[in-house]
Structure 1
Amino acid sequence: MDYKNEKLAEEKVFKDPVHRYIHVRDKVIWDVIGTREFQRLRRIKQLGTTYLVFHGAEHTRFQHSLGVYEIVRRIIDDGFSGRAEWNDEERLVTLCAALLHDLGHGPFSHAFEKVFTLDHEYFTQAILTGDTEVNAVLRNVSPDFPQKVADVIGKIYPDKLVVSLISSQIDADRMDYLQRDAYYTGVSYGHFDMERILRVMRPDEEQVVIKSSGMHAVEDYIMSRYQMYWQVYFHPVSRSAEVILMKILHRAKHLHAAGYSFKYDPVPFQSFFDRSIELEDYIALDEHVLMTYFQWWRKEDDAILSDLCNRFLDRKLFQYAEFDPATEYRKIGELEQLFKEAGIEPEYYLVTDSSSDLPYDFYRPGEENERVPIYLQLPSGELRELSRSSEIVDAISGKRRTDHKIYFPEDLFEAKQEEQPLYKQILEMLRK
């Protein structure tokens, strides 16, 4: 039997707290899971710094990737297989794209990307098509198979239905992370009736559509996602930790450029600082490496780097205050000047952060760069965009909620406010 269709002698299963079991019968999938690049995802947390707020949120991109694969496997094998609208020849490329969609995430994901101006989807595709173990496995299917998987993840694959299973307004990626993140954070917001949604999913020419009788299950899914973003993903304390993490990396990058002599030379970061990143450099970096350096950098002579590392590792996070840039735009400039007069570097200790700048996709059908909206399939076969039938979805479509915060080391000012009036003035201004 050719490798593409080869099955394992005995089905392998992963015990999973969200899906109960994850089933693997295809040898290609099993071999991909065993590669170095996929195993690296065990060392990348799914929720970055969120574990400093919700202590159970230690789950990884590895777990999530398996979960997305399992949802897609169920959709295809239990729902789509044999239907005229679905091409069974696309099964393996879809399963591989589901499994590998997060392969290129770096340590602490989005925060790391921002500091070094990286794109995890670019690196996912580079790992798939480069000189890697994953590429070697996929090439055994066919020479062009790695590129096909990369094209699905890059959203340029010719079969748009395949792409929609991995990346759309109602895809397997979101269905897994909402439930998984809710489970590990201990909140109830992310739960929805996935079983019902899977039963009413239908393949259409260019995307997944939902049988109209399943509309309420989709409404529940959308509201779950909305609540998870504001209660978990954009939690202000988690954002405080992310701010400090980014400032650590910014400081290390600045010191390297200035010729600072590190006690513990940041060899794994060298190519990131110099913008000369090779694929091997990227693959070799994970959160264990970062945390090791943070431990070492506690002892650096540079007071800022040492302090920021201590804050992150010991959870001595910045306090936050509400901030409205529309009416308080002058406040930041005044505070920066006061910080400098107090001998505190505002670049590292006075930070504004907005949740609207973070990856967040409201349901805004028709807007530029918006993903294709969710369609309901009526009994007549006609497709109708979801917000035209659902008052709940219509009420939140096109409405972007923003949240601005100022982050600052309140503990530093409080300790010295009695002996230094300037510190007291700064605190009063921040707390207004």
Structure 2
Amino acid sequence: MNEKVFRDPVHNYIPVDNPIIYDLINTKEFQRLRRIKQLGSSSFTFHGAEHSRFSHCLGVYHLARRVIGIFEKKYPDIWNPEESLLTMVTALLHDIGHGAYSHTFESLFGTDHEEFTQKIITDSETEVNAVLKRVSPDFPHQVASVINHSYPNKQVVQLISSQIDVDRMDYLLRDSYFSGVKYGEFDLSRILRVIRPLENGIAFSSDGMHAVEDYVLSRYQMYMQVYFHPASRAMEVLLKNLLKRAQELYLDHKDFFRQSSPHLVPFFENQISLDDYLSLDDGVMNTYFQTWMTASDKIDKILADLAKRYTNRKVFKSISFEEDDSEKLAVLRDLVKSVGFEPDYYTAVHNNFDLPYDVYKPDSQQSRTQIEMIQEDGTLIELSQLSDLVRTLSGTIHGDRRFYFPREMLTSGGLFADSKTNFQSYISNKRFKDPKEAGQ
């Protein structure tokens, strides 16, 4: 085929010269990723972060293609070129199972985007599966095995999923660019020069240690400054409480939800097919929320109010707290309830330590693949053993716990004037950190 080129703001030109890759991009399952935001509700905080899973997956494919080109040229005795297509395809499809507002949605309805990624790849009814079978009958299952880490060649697995892989390299650069921050920038060119395949994985030449160290620091900064931003988490809390309220109302108002939000009904009933899952995207969900905004009189005021708050970015405020503050939080919940807000829907505890990804901690019980540095004598040393900076990051826990509540609790006048005094007084007396203004 003639080479096709995608113009990309992060990587400039992304060339596609393999018909399998190009046909996968044109499947309906992959095109759906145009309608899924890469950073979910973070665009309410960083207004430029409107980029999609589609552009990210193209970027991951592109980086995999670049790495493979290096391996085939410089390490033909270690890298098997017969696995190059598998690596590029898996890089392209690694996120194809992400759903609308994926991580928030998953925690409420119990879905798993990695499981759905494998279903899309292996289901005989999908366009993706039909393209993959043109390579070989078992090729879809090979791709799925890389996704679930059971593929025997760990070189391929670690290029797609490890502490430093093509997925993370792209999303750090891409998320940083579209968020308008500099935290995610690192020396990609240098890392690509020092990456090397091993018999059982990948490693990096020791002379590139500072570039790898910079990458780890960039990842840490992106988590602290962007991914764990209090305002973004506030919108996640609103979204989760909104969907939780809708799910609880469904049993008594089935006709309303079947009419206003039909593609959510299978999730409310816990009977989800692959087609049901693929029918949802961010745009569909946002349309549903705007419909729910008018449900105040006929259905439920809480549902309507939460939908308005989410759609119109009426962000909850928050305070950080320590693990032993549960009794104090109970008092705050009671104060919120005393002015007419149902605490189950207008307060929340958000703990960022248990989010899907975390900073580099090689000694944790659920540590990911270590970053190995190759010394001049050929020996391997784990990165934190060489870098004081990485050792410091990997030896401490990062993040915080936050209690979210309606900003009206801090209103200076009107209905909430007395509650403001009580609420702020309690926060101050109990030595909570002052509420932070969530976003702009």
Does the pair score TM above 0.5? yes
1:36 Cα deviation after fit: 0.2
2:316 aligned with 1:318, yes or no? Answer: yes
Normalising by structure 2, what TM-score? 0.93
| Partners of 1:300 and 1:259 in 2: CA distance | 11
Contact 1:417 1:423 in 2 (8 A): no
**Is the contact between residue 14 and residue 23 of structure 1 (CA under 8 Å) also seen in structure 2?**
yes
- Which residue is equivalent to 2:306? 308
Question: Partners in 2 of 1:172 and 1:419 — Cα distance?
Answer: 50
**Which string of whole-angstrom CA distances, capped at 9 and with x for unpartnered residues, describes residues 374-421 of structure 1?**
101111111111111111111111322130111111226627656763
Deviation at 1:47, TM superposition (A): 0.5
The residue aligned with 2:356 is 359
5+ residue gaps in structure 2?
A: 433-440
Rounded to whole Å, the distance in 2 between the matches of 1:338 and 1:378 is 60
SS at match of 1:203: strand
Contact 2:347 2:405 in 1 (8 A): yes
Give 1:363's aligned amino acid. Y
Asked if the contact 1:417/1:424 (under 8 Å) is kept, the reply is no
Question: How many residue pairs align between the two structures?
Answer: 423
Q: Could you tell me which amino acid in structure 2 is paired with residue 65 of structure 1?
A: C
CA distance in 2, matches of 1:63, 1:428: 48
Q: Does 1:218 align with 2:212?
A: yes
The answer to whether 1:401 aligns with 2:398 is yes
For the pair 1:199 / 2:193, whether they are aligned, the reply is yes
- Name whichever of 32-41 and 266-275 sits farther off: 266-275
1:131-170 to 2 correspondences below 5 Å = 131-170=125-164
Call closer, same or farther: CA 1:389–1:297 in 2, change over 3 Å.
same
For 2:104, the equivalent position in structure 1 comes to 111
TM-score norm. by structure 1 comes to: 0.94
Q: What per-residue deviation string (whole Å, max 9, x for no partner) do you get for residues 155-202 of structure 1? A: 111111100000001100010000001110110111110000001111
Looking at structure 1, the residues matched to 355 and 414 of structure 2 have their Cα atoms a distance apart, in angstroms, of 34
* Structure 1, unpaired ranges of 5+: 1-7
Moved more, 251-260 or 149-158: 251-260
What is aligned with 1:39?
A: 31
**Does the residue aligned with 2:319 lie in a helix, a strand or coil?**
strand
In 2, distance between residues paired with 1:310 and 1:242? 14
Q: Deviations over 1:219-243 (max 9, x none)?
A: 0000000001000000001111111
**Structure 2 partner of 1:282:** 277
Q: How does 1:413-428 map to 2 (within 5 A)?
A: 414=411, 421-422=418-419, 424-428=421-425
Give the conservation status (yes or no) of the 8 Å contact 2:5–2:13. yes
What is the Cα deviation at residue 206 of structure 1? 1.4
Q: Distance in 1 between matches of 2:119 and 2:345?
A: 33
Residue of 114, 119, 125 corresponding to 1:126: 119
Instruction: Return structure 1 stretches of 4+ with deviation > 6 angstroms.
Output: none
Aligned to 1:4: none
**Which whole-Å CA distance do the structure 2 matches of 1:79 and 1:158 have between them?**
18
* Amino acid in the other structure paired with 1:197: I
Counterpart for residue 29 of structure 1? 21
Superposed displacement of residue 258, structure 1: 3.8
Amino acid at match of 1:254: E
d(CA) in 2 for partners of 1:274, 1:415 = 43
CA contact (8 A) 2:27 2:128 kept: yes
Q: Which 10-residue stretch deviates more, 355-364 or 123-132?
A: 355-364
User: Per the alignment, in what secondary structure is the counterpart of residue 208 of structure 1?
Assistant: strand
Q: Single out whichever of 250-259 and 63-72 deviates more from structure 2.
A: 250-259
* 1-structure distance, mates of 2:117, 2:131: 15
Could you tell me whether the CA contact under 8 Å between 2:339 and 2:416 is conserved in 1?
Answer: no
The question of whether the paired residues in 1 share the 8 Å contact of 2:37 and 2:101 is answered with yes
Mapped to 1, the partners of 2:396 and 2:107 lie a distance apart of 25
RMSD: 1.7
The answer to whether the 8 A contact 1:364-1:370 is kept is: yes
Of the candidates 2, 11, 33, which is equivalent to residue 19 of structure 1? 11
